[in-house]
Amino acid sequence: MPIVNRIAALTDEIAAWRHDFHEHPELLYEVHRTAGIVADRLREFGCDEVVTGIGHTGVVGVIHGRKNNSGRVIGLRADMDALPIEEMSGVSYASKTPGMMHACGHDGHTAMLLGAAKYLTETRNFDGTAVMIFQPAEEGGAGGKAMVDDGLMTRWSIQEVYGLHNMPGLPEGHFALTPGPILAAADSFEIVVHGKGGHGGAGPHKAIDSVLIGSEIVGALQSIVARNVDPMKTAVVSACSFHAGSAFNIIPATATISGTARTFEPKVRDLVERRISEIAEGIARTYGGSAETNYTRMYPPTINHERETAIAADVARDVAGADRVNDRTTPIMA
């Protein structure tokens, strides 16, 4: 049976898995129920090896093809964790766990990879080894790194890894990919401005106004992208939170600014981090205060290898049709 027809026959079963995961979301590394179900299914399908606890709660299923002349070992990866969001969708399979929801689609990713595992174990119509990788803690927990640090790539000698993500706004059945950067590095920063408190009406001249300093910093941060980053490069610097004071007539001694920075290239990332600190400290000194900057590097950019991206695009065209595949999609700052 052609692959598209066989997968179509599995649709109801895959959807049922997805609905079950959606009803029972779990956060970060605490995906014990989800990981347990995944491991049980992989064993039922007949995977040659099923290993749990990789990267704390990650699951790996190994499937050998009918032949192994090539020696190829290919990883297929999905994430399992949900988000701390209250679901208000009203769907019949809505989250049953207060304050948690599969709002990023990892329930779908997990279900799809289980479907692939079932197909591959029953057909084994390939040369080499396929490794199913079910990752915890994608949502800020660096679960992929934890699995790699736990020996994921070396234990099974994985040569390439392929994954996909649902894309809101992309028509159903379409694929979008590109070689090189496709998702940005996501960093955070916090600037604490230190001034001198005082009365805003009776004695502002005796104070060092942290609100004024902070306001100048917020505006000046926009000069990083406008005047420091190469116009042919891409970066985002957004101050998203400003907290200071507690009374309408008192100048506070401190103000705290926090925000996010997004970049695609290491040199641009270095530049943005340096300039945020320099601007904050320089402006604060100008007004007689000081500023401390804490820049946190969170996730690095997602950078696709050119050869593997071309392979994925060719496969997508074979399955979905050339008119449904954009292999030069515009990268996004997510």
Q: Where are the alpha helices (DSSP H) in 24-105?
A: 32-45
Model confidence, pTM:
0.89
Q: Find out whether 251 and 199 touch, Cβ atoms under 8 Å.
A: yes
What is the model's pLDDT at position 247? 95
Residue 3 has pLDDT above 90, yes or no: no
Query: Mean per-residue pLDDT for 51-77?
Result: 97
Dist CA 58 CA 257 (whole Å): 36
Told to judge if 81 belongs to the known catalytic residues of this protein, a careful annotator would answer: yes
What is the rounded average pLDDT of the residues 238-254? 97
Q: Which pLDDT value is given to residue 2?
A: 67
The predicted pLDDT at position 261 comes to 98
Residue 7, pLDDT > 90, answer no
Which residue from 83, 98, 109 is spatially nearest to 26, judged by alpha carbons?
A: 83
Q: How confident is the model at residue 1 (pLDDT cuts 50, 70, 90)?
A: low
pLDDT score of 194: 98
pLDDT confidence band for 4 (50 / 70 / 90): confident
**28 vs 6, higher pLDDT:** 28
Candidates 26, 79, 138, 216; catalytic one: 138
* Nearest alpha carbon to residue 197 among 135, 246, 235: 246
Average pLDDT for the chain:
96
Mean pLDDT, residues 83-99: 96
pLDDT in tens, 302-325: 999 999 999 999 999 999 999 999
Which of the residues 26, 81, 265, 273 is marked catalytic? 81
Contacts with 278 (C-beta within 8 Å, 6 or more apart), sequence order: none
Cα separation, 320 vs 270, in Å, equals 40
- Domains of the chain in start order, with CATH, are 3-166 (3.40.630.10), 185-299 (3.30.70.360)
Cα gap 166→136, rounded to integer Å:
17
pLDDT band for position 5 (50/70/90)? Answer: confident
